[in-house]
Structure 1
Amino acid sequence: MLAFALVAGLFLKLYIDEVISLVIFQLFFYLLVYAQLEIKRKEAGIKDLNARKYYMLVLIYSIGMAYALLLNFLPNQIQPFLLLALLLACTTDQMIGVTAGIYFSIVAYFVSNNPSVISLIISLSIICGGMTIYKGLLNKTYRKQFFVILFVMCVLFGCVATYYYEDAIRFKILIYMLIMSALNVILAWIFMPILSSKKQNINEDTYRKMLEDEYPLNSLMRQSSKLDYDHAKRVSDICAICATIVGADSSLAAAAGLYYRIGRLEGEPHVQNGVLIAAQFDFPAEITQILREFNGEEHLPSTVESAIVQIVDLVTAKFDVLSGQKATKTEWNREMIVYQALNEYSAKGMYDESGLSMNQFLKIRDYLVHLGGQ
């Protein structure tokens, strides 16, 4: 009965044309999000995804829509849209999370009986600021520090915006900001790792399928050139080990390593042809990006996994070329080959944008010296 009364009260406060416009607007935005997810599904090469896989998106979206409609019954300062944006980013991707957070904030402003520009600015500022540190919130090593930054950011943005417009920070507003900031942080801390893990599991399944002998492109590589295929398999295996050593995604590194030189099937230009083949076979976006960064020719490696694949492919190619020479059989010469190759590329700044730390770089280099060249 209470829910019915709330809904009835809401519709009495809104004109019928306003309700219809809002519903159409919400439906249009939902279809846009759905279309974006379908594109992501295609990029990931997931063929059997059905509507049940979107249940978390539907739930989070419904919460945002319900809050926007019920805003008339709640204080303007209660803004959960950063939390919704973070959860949507974990369920889908960062861009959809940002877009949805901004969208719900604007809708809430327009449907409110007492619209507050201050509340809108606070909400938008917190969403934009919070989503810039989204990846840091998922990092297990620095997660606590980034959540502290998120909490402080939420409170500060609210206080600054309020003071700018009212020349004062009222105690009631401050309490609202502290409570909402704490709730955003606590709930994000609980649910973000869970949602990210489920999303990652879908990606892991795709990477594993791409490594199977029955995968169409894998078969095509074997038939095309045994020499290139043997190199690709070796790179893939070593990439998986190196990624495990430094705590990166071993499945992604292995799959990207296997298809790193796939553009050679079509000849020059290798990078563009590799990306085109990836599109034809619906490669996951993460692998396509690594192919786009092949050898740093057009783009520098942008992730740790991309840097690992580039390093392993470079060193393994040198060993393949020199494998028949006795000079590479000694430990000393193998070490010199690895050091010279990696130091040269490192000095050029090849890995500056990848996030690969010096400690990770040294671990990979040591492994390639002692095991990778054997």
Structure 2
Amino acid sequence: MARNSKREQNDWMLSESKKEQSETVFQISIFFLTIAGSVLAAFLYQKPVDEIASIAVMSGVGAGIVWFLLGKCREDKEFLYDRAGHINRFFFLYLISLIGSVLFPLLPAGGWPYQVIFIGLMLFSNQMTGICAGCTLLMISVLLQGGEDGLFFIYFISGLVGIAVFSVLDEAFKIWTPTLISLLIQMTCLSLQEVLFANEVFSFQMFFIPEINILVNFILLMILLKVFRIFVMNRERDWYADINDPEHPLLLELMANSKDEYFHAVHTAYLCEKAAKSLNLDDALAKACGYYHRIGIIRGENSWERVKDILLANNFPKEVQEILQEYLDEREKIVSKEAVVLFFCDTVASSISYLFSKDAKIELNYHQIISAILDKKMESGLIASSNISFKEIEEIKNILAEEKNYYDFLR
């Protein structure tokens, strides 16, 4: 088993090395393609040599910032939605947007769909990277078009609004309110450009370009969100659906090793899910931690080092690894609420199972027993550094005590 574990770890390290190399290539490509694309476009637009040089320097600085931020995202795992941090997704969206940025000057200034670009770049990275990448491309378009500085700020503001309202998406994927807000701000900003600052007699025809822009933005935004949901949001849900399956290969291996440990994991996962839902936490994350908090047993001992090797070899979500490290690593302190939930549920499941092992027919006062168990654990000081409140602890006590019918499965 130790040999298999070592082989799995080596395979994982090799795949991670290849992934890191490919991601570095993507980052370098973003830098050089941005400079080359903007310079070539400036040449084709017949810009003077000094303007071409200026565009090259400015685009290079902007692309360099994006390069740095992507590297930081990858190193610190700061991708907003994409847990696996697929830089290739960001790269292809950036490449399409770069092509658009050098073509937009051929369109009327009020017809550029930059709000969608800002939102898309943010969704596949994070807020700061999305802002900087969007600003870099917008700057290229404005410099190539030779327009007023106000044009940059109009699209910049609408892009910021788009990033702000779409950076709080959750599994429910409620998109209509953010879409309405972002498009209304976009319409307002474009109306300022096309109507208030126009040296013409007012007419409703002035709203034609902003209206077309809003329509195009809406269509592109729906396409973007559809792609995002398929490749990111649904993948995340499928990820947890897979590892939270009681018949997952690792759990079956645990059952083959020890049926008692397997059923304890199942019971702990159930209680973790219930408690997490009552606190509005990530119940799928808590459930996964309940299932795998003793998975190290299949490698000989349930130390954090053994558990870490298994999680890494099977590409478990970073959040699961972090919670289990808090819980299992003696050098770490229990801080997160999910780790506290796991701590309490593991203890309750173990304690009630122990009581039933002594007398299967015993009648228990679950509320009294669970309160006593959790109070004792609190007095131990093990969760003194956690960010959970006393109100939330009382909520956990109540929700666990309400599962009296479920505890019959532990007899």
TM-score (norm 2): 0.57
Number of the residue aligned with 1:270: none
Once the two structures are aligned, what percentage of the paired residues are identical?
A: 18
Number of the residue aligned with 1:3: none
State yes or no: 1:348 paired with 2:390: yes
Cα offset, 1:373, TM superposition: 7.0
Counterparts in 2 of 1:334 and 1:63: CA distance versus 1, 3 Å = same
Number of the residue aligned with 2:118: 85
State yes or no: 1:127 paired with 2:171: no
Contact 1:138 1:193 survives alignment (8 Å): no
Contact 1:90 1:199 survives alignment (8 Å): no
State yes or no: 1:188 paired with 2:221: yes
Deviations 1:180-226 (A, max 9, x none): 334323432343133223224544565546985559xx989x99x99
The letter for the 1-side match of 2:350 is: D
The letter for the 1-side match of 2:320 is: I
314, 317, 320: which is aligned to 2:347?
Answer: 317
Number of the residue aligned with 1:355: none
Counterparts in 2 of 1:229 and 1:163: CA distance versus 1, 3 Å = farther
Rounded Cα–Cα distance in structure 2 between residues aligned with 1:291 and 1:153:
43
Counterparts in 2 of 1:247 and 1:110: CA distance versus 1, 3 Å = same
State yes or no: 1:334 paired with 2:369: no
Rounded Cα–Cα distance in structure 2 between residues aligned with 1:159 and 1:328:
75
Counterparts in 2 of 1:300 and 1:255: CA distance versus 1, 3 Å = closer
Cα offset, 1:83, TM superposition: 0.9
Rounded Cα–Cα distance in structure 1 between residues aligned with 2:238 and 2:94:
26
Contact 2:323 2:336 survives alignment (8 Å): no
State yes or no: 1:10 paired with 2:56: no
Deviations 1:265-306 (A, max 9, x none): 669xxxxx99998997775333355458869x77554xxxx4
The letter for the 2-side match of 1:348 is: F
Counterparts in 2 of 1:226 and 1:186: CA distance versus 1, 3 Å = same
Cα offset, 1:123, TM superposition: 1.6
Rounded Cα–Cα distance in structure 2 between residues aligned with 1:310 and 1:21:
51
Number of the residue aligned with 2:406: 371
Contact 1:77 1:176 survives alignment (8 Å): yes
Contact 2:62 2:136 survives alignment (8 Å): no
Counterparts in 2 of 1:152 and 1:316: CA distance versus 1, 3 Å = same
After TM superposition, the structure 1 = structure 2 runs for residues 235-314 of structure 1, keeping only pairs within 5 Å, are 235-239=268-272, 252-259=285-292, 284-288=317-321, 290=323, 299=335, 301=337, 306=338, 310-311=340-341, 313-314=343-344
167, 187, 199: which is aligned to 1:155?
Answer: 187
**SS class of match (2:105):** helix
The letter for the 2-side match of 1:71 is: F
Deviations 1:60-112 (A, max 9, x none): 21222122212332222233222123233444455543432233223333333
The letter for the 1-side match of 2:160 is: C
Cα offset, 1:173, TM superposition: 6.2
Rounded Cα–Cα distance in structure 2 between residues aligned with 1:329 and 1:72:
80
Number of the residue aligned with 1:68: 101
The letter for the 2-side match of 1:318 is: V
Rounded Cα–Cα distance in structure 1 between residues aligned with 2:363 and 2:223:
49
Rounded Cα–Cα distance in structure 2 between residues aligned with 1:83 and 1:333:
57
Contact 1:94 1:131 survives alignment (8 Å): yes
Deviations 1:146-203 (A, max 9, x none): 3222222323455578899889997666544443334323432343133223224544
Rounded Cα–Cα distance in structure 1 between residues aligned with 2:397 and 2:184:
35
The letter for the 1-side match of 2:47 is: K
The letter for the 2-side match of 1:192 is: L
**SS class of match (1:12):** coil
Counterparts in 2 of 1:92 and 1:262: CA distance versus 1, 3 Å = farther
TM-score (norm 1): 0.61
Q: Which runs of 5+ in 1 are unaligned?
A: 1-5, 268-272, 352-357
Cα offset, 1:366, TM superposition: 8.6
**Root mean square deviation, CA, Å:** 5.8
**SS class of match (1:130):** helix
Q: Which runs of 5+ in 2 are unaligned?
A: 1-39, 379-386
Contact 1:136 1:146 survives alignment (8 Å): no
Contact 1:90 1:196 survives alignment (8 Å): no
